[in-house]
Amino acid sequence: MSTEITATIFSLFKKYGHIVYGEKMNVSSHSIQSGLIAKEKGYDEELILSAFLHDIGHLYPLELEDSTFEKMGEYGIEQHDKWGAVLLEKLGFSARLIAPVKNHVDAKRYLCYANKSYYNELTEASKQTLEYQGGPMTSEEAAQFEADPFFEDSILIRRIDEEAKAPDFVITDEHWQYFSELLDRIQE
Protein backbone atom coordinates (compact mmCIF):
# COMPACT_ATOMS: atom_id res chain seq x y z
CA MET A 1 0.00 0.00 0.00
CA SER A 2 1.15 3.55 0.15
CA THR A 3 1.59 6.62 2.24
CA GLU A 4 -1.43 7.93 0.33
CA ILE A 5 -3.56 5.77 2.60
CA THR A 6 -1.84 7.16 5.66
CA ALA A 7 -2.51 10.65 4.30
CA THR A 8 -6.21 9.85 3.79
CA ILE A 9 -6.56 8.75 7.41
CA PHE A 10 -4.55 11.64 8.78
CA SER A 11 -6.59 14.12 6.81
CA LEU A 12 -9.75 12.83 8.50
CA PHE A 13 -8.21 13.30 11.95
CA LYS A 14 -6.93 16.74 10.98
CA LYS A 15 -10.31 17.91 9.73
CA TYR A 16 -12.64 16.28 12.21
CA GLY A 17 -10.59 14.78 15.06
CA HIS A 18 -11.29 17.80 17.26
CA ILE A 19 -14.97 16.85 17.44
CA VAL A 20 -16.23 15.77 20.85
CA TYR A 21 -19.03 13.19 20.88
CA GLY A 22 -20.50 13.21 24.36
CA GLU A 23 -17.26 12.14 26.08
CA LYS A 24 -14.76 14.35 27.92
CA MET A 25 -12.18 14.17 25.12
CA ASN A 26 -12.20 14.54 21.36
CA VAL A 27 -11.99 11.74 18.79
CA SER A 28 -8.25 12.23 18.16
CA SER A 29 -7.41 11.99 21.85
CA HIS A 30 -9.58 8.90 22.33
CA SER A 31 -8.10 7.25 19.23
CA ILE A 32 -4.49 7.90 20.19
CA GLN A 33 -5.11 6.78 23.76
CA SER A 34 -6.67 3.57 22.42
CA GLY A 35 -3.71 2.79 20.20
CA LEU A 36 -1.19 3.52 22.96
CA ILE A 37 -2.99 1.30 25.46
CA ALA A 38 -2.93 -1.55 22.91
CA LYS A 39 0.81 -0.94 22.53
CA GLU A 40 1.35 -0.92 26.31
CA LYS A 41 -0.48 -4.21 26.54
CA GLY A 42 1.99 -5.67 24.07
CA TYR A 43 -0.52 -6.28 21.30
CA ASP A 44 0.80 -6.65 17.77
CA GLU A 45 0.80 -3.80 15.27
CA GLU A 46 -2.37 -4.93 13.51
CA LEU A 47 -4.30 -4.69 16.77
CA ILE A 48 -2.63 -1.43 17.80
CA LEU A 49 -3.87 0.11 14.57
CA SER A 50 -7.25 -1.48 14.98
CA ALA A 51 -7.51 0.26 18.36
CA PHE A 52 -6.29 3.56 16.91
CA LEU A 53 -8.80 3.40 14.04
CA HIS A 54 -11.81 1.92 15.84
CA ASP A 55 -13.78 5.21 15.82
CA ILE A 56 -12.74 6.43 12.36
CA GLY A 57 -16.35 5.85 11.34
CA HIS A 58 -17.29 8.92 13.39
CA LEU A 59 -15.16 10.98 10.99
CA TYR A 60 -15.35 9.34 7.60
CA PRO A 61 -19.07 9.99 6.80
CA LEU A 62 -18.54 13.72 7.39
CA GLU A 63 -16.33 13.67 4.33
CA LEU A 64 -18.89 12.13 2.00
CA GLU A 65 -21.20 14.21 -0.09
CA ASP A 66 -24.80 13.01 -0.14
CA SER A 67 -23.94 10.70 2.71
CA THR A 68 -26.88 8.88 4.24
CA PHE A 69 -25.50 8.79 7.76
CA GLU A 70 -27.70 9.50 10.76
CA LYS A 71 -26.60 11.06 14.01
CA MET A 72 -27.15 9.67 17.49
CA GLY A 73 -28.09 13.03 18.94
CA GLU A 74 -24.87 14.59 20.24
CA TYR A 75 -23.17 11.19 20.40
CA GLY A 76 -21.86 10.91 16.89
CA ILE A 77 -22.65 8.91 13.84
CA GLU A 78 -25.08 6.03 13.97
CA GLN A 79 -23.48 2.82 12.70
CA HIS A 80 -20.05 4.41 13.02
CA ASP A 81 -18.63 0.90 13.54
CA LYS A 82 -19.86 -0.13 10.11
CA TRP A 83 -18.82 3.15 8.47
CA GLY A 84 -15.31 2.63 9.83
CA ALA A 85 -15.18 -0.85 8.34
CA VAL A 86 -16.40 0.45 4.98
CA LEU A 87 -13.53 2.94 4.84
CA LEU A 88 -10.87 0.48 5.99
CA GLU A 89 -12.05 -2.14 3.50
CA LYS A 90 -11.91 0.44 0.77
CA LEU A 91 -8.34 1.28 1.78
CA GLY A 92 -7.40 -2.41 1.67
CA PHE A 93 -6.56 -3.22 5.30
CA SER A 94 -6.56 -6.80 6.56
CA ALA A 95 -9.68 -8.60 7.79
CA ARG A 96 -8.12 -8.93 11.25
CA LEU A 97 -7.45 -5.21 11.54
CA ILE A 98 -10.94 -4.35 10.35
CA ALA A 99 -12.93 -6.86 12.41
CA PRO A 100 -12.50 -5.23 15.85
CA VAL A 101 -13.47 -1.88 14.28
CA LYS A 102 -16.55 -3.38 12.66
CA ASN A 103 -17.38 -5.29 15.86
CA HIS A 104 -16.68 -2.72 18.56
CA VAL A 105 -20.32 -1.83 19.09
CA ASP A 106 -21.35 -5.47 19.00
CA ALA A 107 -18.59 -6.22 21.50
CA LYS A 108 -20.06 -3.62 23.86
CA ARG A 109 -23.51 -5.13 23.43
CA TYR A 110 -21.97 -8.56 24.06
CA LEU A 111 -20.13 -7.49 27.22
CA CYS A 112 -23.27 -5.84 28.57
CA TYR A 113 -25.01 -9.19 28.11
CA ALA A 114 -22.19 -11.39 29.44
CA ASN A 115 -20.92 -9.26 32.29
CA LYS A 116 -23.37 -7.21 34.32
CA SER A 117 -20.69 -5.08 35.96
CA TYR A 118 -19.41 -4.02 32.53
CA TYR A 119 -22.51 -1.94 31.95
CA ASN A 120 -22.03 -0.09 35.23
CA GLU A 121 -18.48 0.82 34.24
CA LEU A 122 -19.50 2.45 30.96
CA THR A 123 -19.34 6.22 30.66
CA GLU A 124 -22.65 8.05 30.50
CA ALA A 125 -22.22 8.63 26.75
CA SER A 126 -21.52 4.95 26.18
CA LYS A 127 -24.67 4.01 28.12
CA GLN A 128 -26.71 6.48 26.09
CA THR A 129 -25.44 5.21 22.74
CA LEU A 130 -26.14 1.63 23.81
CA GLU A 131 -29.80 2.54 23.51
CA TYR A 132 -29.31 3.60 19.89
CA GLN A 133 -27.33 0.45 19.27
CA GLY A 134 -29.97 -2.03 20.34
CA GLY A 135 -29.11 -2.55 24.03
CA PRO A 136 -27.38 -5.70 25.39
CA MET A 137 -27.27 -8.76 23.12
CA THR A 138 -29.73 -11.57 23.49
CA SER A 139 -28.30 -15.02 24.23
CA GLU A 140 -28.75 -16.02 20.58
CA GLU A 141 -26.90 -12.94 19.35
CA ALA A 142 -24.16 -13.60 21.90
CA ALA A 143 -23.70 -17.21 20.78
CA GLN A 144 -23.45 -16.05 17.18
CA PHE A 145 -20.91 -13.39 18.08
CA GLU A 146 -18.76 -15.89 20.02
CA ALA A 147 -18.47 -17.87 16.77
CA ASP A 148 -16.93 -14.88 14.93
CA PRO A 149 -13.30 -15.78 14.07
CA PHE A 150 -12.24 -12.38 15.40
CA PHE A 151 -14.34 -12.53 18.57
CA GLU A 152 -11.36 -12.52 20.99
CA ASP A 153 -9.61 -9.65 19.22
CA SER A 154 -12.84 -7.69 19.17
CA ILE A 155 -13.28 -8.05 22.92
CA LEU A 156 -9.68 -6.95 23.55
CA ILE A 157 -10.20 -3.76 21.55
CA ARG A 158 -13.54 -3.06 23.17
CA ARG A 159 -12.02 -3.21 26.63
CA ILE A 160 -9.41 -0.69 25.53
CA ASP A 161 -12.16 1.57 24.17
CA GLU A 162 -13.49 2.12 27.69
CA GLU A 163 -10.01 2.62 29.17
CA ALA A 164 -8.99 5.21 26.59
CA LYS A 165 -11.05 8.08 27.94
CA ALA A 166 -8.69 10.15 30.08
CA PRO A 167 -9.95 13.74 29.73
CA ASP A 168 -6.57 15.36 30.35
CA PHE A 169 -4.52 13.32 27.88
CA VAL A 170 -2.12 15.53 25.89
CA ILE A 171 -1.43 14.64 22.26
CA THR A 172 2.13 15.23 21.07
CA ASP A 173 3.73 15.26 17.61
CA GLU A 174 5.52 12.06 18.57
CA HIS A 175 2.16 10.31 18.96
CA TRP A 176 1.10 11.27 15.45
CA GLN A 177 4.52 10.31 14.14
CA TYR A 178 4.26 6.88 15.75
CA PHE A 179 0.87 6.09 14.19
CA SER A 180 1.92 7.50 10.85
CA GLU A 181 4.93 5.17 10.75
CA LEU A 182 2.83 2.25 11.87
CA LEU A 183 0.31 2.90 9.12
CA ASP A 184 3.06 3.10 6.52
CA ARG A 185 4.66 -0.09 7.82
CA ILE A 186 1.50 -2.22 7.92
CA GLN A 187 0.88 -1.43 4.27
CA GLU A 188 4.26 -2.79 3.12
Q: What is the DSSP letter of 71?
A: B
Nearest residue (beta carbon) to Fe ion: 161
Total number of residues binding Fe ion (CB under 5 A)?
Answer: 2
Tell me which stretch binds Fe ion (CB under 5 A): 8-16, 51-59, 133-141, 147-155: 51-59
Closest CA to 175 of 30, 32, 59: 32
Min dist CB 161 to Fe ion, Å, is 4
Min dist CB 78 to Fe ion, Å, is 11
Min dist CB 47 to Fe ion, Å, is 15
Which is closer to Fe ion, CB of 78 or CB of 161? Answer: 161
153 binds Fe ion (CB under 5 A): no
Classified as helix, coil or strand, 57 is: helix
Min dist CB 85 to Fe ion, Å, is 12
> In sequence order, which residues have a C-beta less than 8 Å from that of residue 123 and are 6 or more positions away?
23, 162, 165
78 binds Fe ion (CB under 5 A): no
Min dist CB 118 to Fe ion, Å, is 15
161 binds Fe ion (CB under 5 A): yes
Which is closer to Fe ion, CB of 20 or CB of 184? Answer: 20
Closest CA to 109 of 135, 128, 79: 135
Q: 8-47 as b/e, with b when 16 or more CB fall inside 10 Å?
A: bbbebbeebbeeebebebbbbbbbbbbbbbbbeeebeebb
Binding-site ranges for Fe ion (CB under 5 A): 55, 161
